Amino acid sequence: MTVQRDELEGHWTDAGPAARPGFAPVPRPEAAEPPAVPLLNIANVLTVLRILIVPLFLLALFAHGGHDTEWRWIAAGLFGVAAITDRIDGQLARKYGLVTDFGKLADPIADKALIGAALVGLSMLHDLPWWITIVIVARELGVTLLRLAVVRRGVIPAGRGGKLKTLVQSVAIAVLLLPLSGGFASAGMGLMYVAVVLTVVTGLDYVVQAARLWFGSPGGSRAA
């Protein structure tokens, strides 16, 4: 073994293979850090686009008194585009590793802004009972407050019930936005009643999971 005198420390150290004549130093492997996710990516762009669509949707919904056939089709189309981006941006973020703190914050805000604006708008136009709007909006606000309350103790991820709730809400709103009557209007209200049930059930489930986190029990996995 080749050794060398460490004049600074005053003790013998092993020079190792790199100190022997004719041997090249062997570089030490270093763990590569994952590249930072850029804030400007396709998932975040779609989320911001959905937020920007909300005021345009409201303008189209209330144009010419709110019951103009052409403008109602336009409003329904804008709502449909925004709802589709909700599914696409989440899938892109997970598939290509584009999850950012901005996206985590902006995505649920965009969803609630779109759904809430549509519900309030339909109720103001007397196309949807106010009690339905109040129940759904109150649930969303309550869940948001619960999230803030338990955020330091854990996160309850969205589950199938929450995703189904959002899907049924979106389809029901889209049908009610269409300037159609008869069976279509009845189908829209039927879907909305189903959405209300899912909204209440998933809301109660979220309360249970949040309570388990708060009192130290293992976190849940079924909420939205």
pLDDT digits (tens, 9 = 90+) for 68-90: 999 999 999 999 999 998 888 77
The helix, strand and coil proportions of the chain, stated in percent and rounded to the nearest 5, come to 65, 5, 30
Q: What is the pLDDT of residue 7?
A: 46
- Mean pLDDT value across residues 25-33: 55
pTM value is: 0.75
Residue 45: both structure tokens together: 């762009």
Report residue 26's pLDDT band, with 50, 70 and 90 as the boundaries.
low
d(CA 187, CA 118): 17
**Across 47-51, 77-81, 120-124, 174-178, least confident range:** 47-51
Is the distance from CB of 101 to CB of 44 less than 8 angstroms? no
Report residue 5's pLDDT band, with 50, 70 and 90 as the boundaries.
very low
Listed as own residue / partner, the contacts of 207-215 with beta carbons closer than 8 Å and 24 or more positions apart are 207/146, 209/156, 210/146, 210/147, 210/149, 210/150, 210/156, 213/150, 213/153, 213/154, 213/156, 214/149, 214/150, 214/153
Which amino acid is residue 104, in one-letter code?
K
Residue 56: both structure tokens together: 């345009």
d(CA 174, CA 59): 16
d(CA 206, CA 143): 7
What burial class does residue 224 get, using C-beta atoms within 10 Å of its C-beta: 0-12 exposed, 13-18 middle, 19+ buried?
buried
pLDDT in tens, 133-188: 999 999 988 887 887 777 677 666 666 777 889 899 999 999 999 998 888 889 99
d(CA 210, CA 223): 9
Listed as own residue / partner, the contacts of 197-201 with beta carbons closer than 8 Å and 24 or more positions apart are 198/161, 198/164, 198/165, 198/168, 198/169, 199/135, 199/136, 199/139, 199/165, 199/169, 200/135, 200/139, 201/161
Residue 137: both structure tokens together: 């909006």
